[in-house]
Amino acid sequence: MRLQANADAVELGTDVRAALDAQQPIVALESTIIAHGMPWPQNVETALAVEADVRAGGAVPATIAIVDGRLKAGLTHDELERVGREGVAIAKASRRDIPVLVARGVGGATTVAATMIVAALAGIRVFATGGIGGVHRGAQASFDISADLQELARTSVAVVCAGAKSILDFPLTLEYLETQGVPVIGYRTDRFPAFLQRDSGLRLDARCDEASEVARVMHAKWRLGLDGGIVVANAIPEAFALAGDALERATETALAEARTRGIAGKALTPFLLARVNALTGGRSLRSNVELVRNNARLAADVAVAYAAMDERREARSSKRV
């Protein structure tokens, strides 16, 4: 069930191309978390550490971005550092932005939605990120719903994350995913993780305790022709989780500041994450780094398990010929 790479649409890094040709496990990684989610130079340090975590798990990392108008899966060290140095100056690219950036020949840091698109075009089935976007608080009036959710409904990539970002409305986010038919699997948990907290208080219908179980769900979904993604919700390690009351106070303060300053749209999430980090004395950033690395390690395990299923299916098919 491996997707075929579209060489005309995506420029593949050397390691990624070799891994695709050899049908080795690959994990896609986003670039918005580098440019808009963390400050320089910690953003690049974290990105390199995450890539190392994926390699240590037996998979090939494919950090994704738009580089000079080219969709790129597998950034070089120089390209990764360039994205990190540009920071918020580089465009934040979601689905709607891709054709504009490509046509203009400029760069963009890919969100969860855009990373899923490029990963699918490249033939990559597993993607690790921090937290997905979702339904924002007060969306009943603002209609602020992340494009990540719609992408999960249409693009067949498994997204390993620590749930949805803590600035969001968790019940409405899960309701939206259910309506769109997106499976949300708790990895070794029955509860939906709350990004920097392990438990949002919301129960999940599906749980997997091993990466091989997740791989089987992926295979079953796509073999049946059920297009769309899968959310693999992986709780932040307990040692790095933040206390709920302090985090909620920081989030409410940041939201109030955003309303006062008229910050909305694409600028809202980066502003809120930066303010929450400042209000928690830098603790949220440290926790964010650890949860991303934790997700990358799980994603590598899932990618390895899924690739092994491909190999077994091909072996059985060869015997029947």
User: Above 80 in pLDDT, residue 314?
Assistant: no
Whether residue 282 has pLDDT greater than 80: no
Q: Taking all residues of the chain, what is their mean pLDDT, rounded to a whole number? A: 92
Q: What is the pLDDT of residues 97-108, one digit of tens each?
A: 999 999 999 999
pLDDT for 312: 62
**Is there a contact between 207 and 190 (Cβ–Cβ < 8 Å)?**
yes
| DSSP state letters, 112-144 | HHHHHHHHHHHT--EEE-S-B--BBTTHHHH--
The per-residue pLDDT for range 194-208, each reduced to its tens digit, is: 999 999 999 999 999
Decide if pLDDT at 7 tops 60: no
Distance CA 19, CA 61 (A): 10
**What share of the chain has pLDDT > 70, as a percent?**
94
Instruction: With respect to residue 248, please indicate whether it lies within any of the assigned structural domains.
Output: no
Evaluate if pTM is beyond 0.85. Answer: yes
User: Is the pLDDT score of 123 beyond 80?
Assistant: yes
Residue 82, domain extent: 10-240+284-315
Position 266 in a domain: no
The pLDDT confidence band at residue 316, using thresholds 50, 70 and 90, is: low
- In tens, the pLDDT along 45-81 reads 999 999 999 999 999 999 999 999 999 999 999 999 9
The answer to whether 197 and 241 are in contact (CB under 8 A) is: yes
Residue 232 within any structural domain of the chain: yes
pLDDT of residue 3: 46
Count of structural domains within the chain = 1
pLDDT tens per residue across span 157-180: 999 999 998 888 999 999 999 999
> Is the pLDDT at 268 greater than 70, yes or no?
yes
How confident is residue 229, by pLDDT bands cut at 50, 70 and 90? very high
Residue 274 lies in a domain: no
Give bridge partners of residue 61 from the DSSP assignment.
Answer: 27
Separation of alpha carbons 245 and 319, rounded Å = 59
Asked if the structure places residue 264 within a domain, the reply is no
Residue 40 has pLDDT above 70, yes or no: yes
Q: Is pLDDT of 318 > 50?
A: no
Q: Is 213 a catalytic residue?
A: no
CATH number at residue 291: 3.40.1790.10
pLDDT of residue 6: 60
Mean pLDDT of 231-249: 90
Is 275 inside any structural domain? no
C-alpha closest to that of 298 among 238, 241, 232, 242: 232
Contact 113, 94 (CB under 8 A): yes
Does a structural domain hold residue 258? no
List all residues 6 or more positions away from 239 whose beta carbon is below 8 Å from its beta carbon.
290
- What pLDDT, on the 0 to 100 scale, is given for residue 2? 44
Evaluate whether residue 50 is within a structural domain. yes
Is the pLDDT at 189 greater than 60? The verdict is yes
Q: What is the pLDDT of residue 109?
A: 98
**pLDDT given for residue 167 in this prediction:** 81
165 is catalytic: yes
Q: Which of 72, 92, 165, 221 is catalytic?
A: 165
